[in-house]
Structure 1
Amino acid sequence: MAVSIVLTNQKGGVGKTTTSGAIAAGLSERGKKVLSVDLDPQGNLGFSLGMDIEDGHTMYEVLKKEIRVRDAVRSTEEYGDVLTSNILLSEAEMILKGENRQMILKQVLEDVKDDYDYIIIDTPPSLNILTVSGYAAADYLIIPMAAEILSLVGLVQLKETIEAVQNSVNPDLHVLGILLTRFSRRTNLAKDVQEMAETVASQIGTELFGSRIRTGVSAAEAPAHGKSVFDYSPRSNPSKDYREFIEEVLNKIENEA
């Protein structure tokens, strides 16, 4: 049965989708069967993994229960399978109805959970029903956070949302850690943010990943080419850092099991 990992941060521009894509690519490279689930109406995860997000079935149809999840899964040669999204998913507040609406994603993924080793869920940069649905469907949660002061804003609200999910629909959700992105070891700001992030992590009941994703243009350019950072620029700092991060994720999950 697949291990489900959700990536979240209500602030945009922190490398959440880049990190989701890197995890999917890195795990696929290791021979793991991976399903990437794009819950962001912007559709950036599917796009960054080389998919045409306007072609084929999407998460919108799956969540509306118009089609089965297996019929919406699309395959890539290098990065495993993908459930893509597009702007139609912005209607989620209207299509996800009922008392247990936050559980619909978990329910639809049950049909394919035995087909994969890992399911990677990318969420929107906001705390809405799609984000909460991602939390409800996951075993582990990772918080990418840019090494900037403004990235700390909103983590308190995120903490409250995580606790609310743990106390209701998903008591087994475990926060695997906070990942610092856009990190420059040479600046005092990065060091200050790291110290403050460590405090926030302890409040959430987790810790910072030892890995830090250094600033590099390759991480920003790779999605435009539909490639992972590993294929686009294998020798770049972000590529090296993401490989180290994936190793750390796997070790943490193994220790938790």
Structure 2
Amino acid sequence: MPASRYILVVDDEPQIHRFLRPTLVAAGFTVESALTGVQALQKFSATPPELVILDLGLTDMDGSAVLATIRETSKVPVIILSARDNEMEKAALLDAGADDYVSKPFGVSELIARINTALRHAVAAAGTTAVFEAGDLIVDTLAHRVTLRGEPVRLTPREYDLLHLLARHAGRLLTHQHILREVWGPNHAEHAQYLRVFISRLRQKIEVDATQPRLLLTEAGVGYRLAAPISLAAQF
């Protein structure tokens, strides 16, 4: 990752900055730090970063308010970093525009993997082709074709719509409500049973072992993510 990739880390704990800065710099990023929400928004406005790591428990305002302000003007990837572990709050933040949620304490390798996935997705969203590839699974949305190990996968229109949505946001956690609204419409946002059935059907068709999924992953109580792709150059 080139050193020019600029990340803004927003956290009110100085020890988090002392830990994260050298780690992220070693991974090839340029890092700016903010201890408060106001400071974060000032720095964001002065020099827009390519990604924001945002803690929720800031001293002057809740991180959700910082996220809301950022989303008024920018689609920059935002990864929530927080000790809070409330499933409903996670879902609300993701629906409000967060790209991912990492709970404290966290592993460095996991955080860097999430950062790289969010940055790849942001780049892909500005692209012009529409091919998602993860292992032996290929979703070609221009041809409206899905293949697994070179063989066509037969999907119903609704199954395809669901896989298409997950592929568009590969590597990102999508909440149950978001998926239901996008695939079934706003009147079905609370009908989680639809989603469970179709996720099960998709796993039967795209996983080597549907009982131990490696592509279509569950975040208990929050939603689903399609594993980060090997190559993704797409605005689907």
When normalised by structure 1's length, the TM-score is 0.38
Which structure is larger by alpha-carbon Rg, 1 or 2? Answer: 2
- Choose between structure 1 and 2: higher helix proportion: 1
- Choose between structure 1 and 2: higher strand proportion: 2
When normalised by structure 2's length, the TM-score is 0.41
